[in-house]
Amino acid sequence: MPRVRFRRGWIIAGVVVTVITGVAVVSLWRGWAARQARPGETLQLGGGLVTFQMPQGWQQRACGASGCVTMRTPQGTEDVIRVIFISPFASRFLIPSEGQVAAVMKDPATLPGARSFTVDGAKFVRVRFDAQAEPDARPGMTSVTGYLRDGGYVFISCYEKAEPELVRAGCEVVIGTLHVRQ
């Protein structure tokens, strides 16, 4: 009889551990799912300093940094839109004031085809790079760089590898719904 009780104790302990583990996994998943944006929802970076809409049908992916959002097409291909916000404090250490970004912001004509525009009083520059096969293959890309009055930066990169039209349309949604709070 003691062996039966001993086995029954292990079985009960196993069931309890399984239930606790299941509850923990479900709780973690719910927390993760709640943080994931739904397509068409407004995403924010820098505590709401930078906001924009995620294109319908796109998927949000981990970016590796808190001031960064990566979005992939519905098919999950290598086509990507990435939005990065660098705070004024971090920009002092990461971006030299006389670097290429600062030069482009001061004079958009430094890059062929660059167009400048403003968003909520912040100066932005947009450049389109066509796909190139030789000498070094690279996909088409739209790059948007914004310089905020407080010294922060916003970078938007739209990489076109498999579905260029879909990426361009998604990029227009992000750029068209972009807002900055300064």
For the chain, the C-alpha Rg in angstroms (whole number) is 23
- Residues 172 and 47: their CA atoms lie apart, in Å, by 23
Element (H, E) at 105: helix 100-106
Please write the tens of the pLDDT for every residue from 117-164: 999 999 999 998 888 877 777 888 999 999 888 888 899 999 998 899
Instruction: Report the chain's mean pLDDT, rounded to a whole number.
Output: 75
pLDDT above 80: residue 30:
no
Where does residue 135 fall: left (phi above 0), alpha (psi -120 to 50 degrees), or beta otherwise?
Answer: alpha
What residues pair up with 145 in beta bridges, in sequence order? 125, 155
- Residue 81 pLDDT > 90: yes
Please report the pLDDT score of residue 25 as a whole number: 37
**Has this prediction a pTM greater than 0.75?**
no
Q: What is the DSSP letter of 98?
A: T
Q: Return the pLDDT at 90.
A: 61
Alpha carbon distance, N-terminus to C-terminus of the chain: 75
Closest to 166 in 3D by CA, of 100, 99, 87, 75: 75
122-129: long-range pairs with CB below 8 Å, 24+: 122/146, 122/147, 122/148, 122/149, 122/154, 122/180, 122/182, 123/147, 124/154, 126/175
| pLDDT given for residue 34 in this prediction | 39
Give CA 174 to chain center in angstroms.
Answer: 11
Residues paired with residue 143 on neighbouring β-strands, in sequence order: 127, 157
The full length of the chain comes to 182
Quick: pLDDT tens for 34-44.
345 555 688 99
Per-residue pLDDT band at 20 (split at 50, 70, 90): very low
Does pLDDT of 23 surpass 80?
A: no
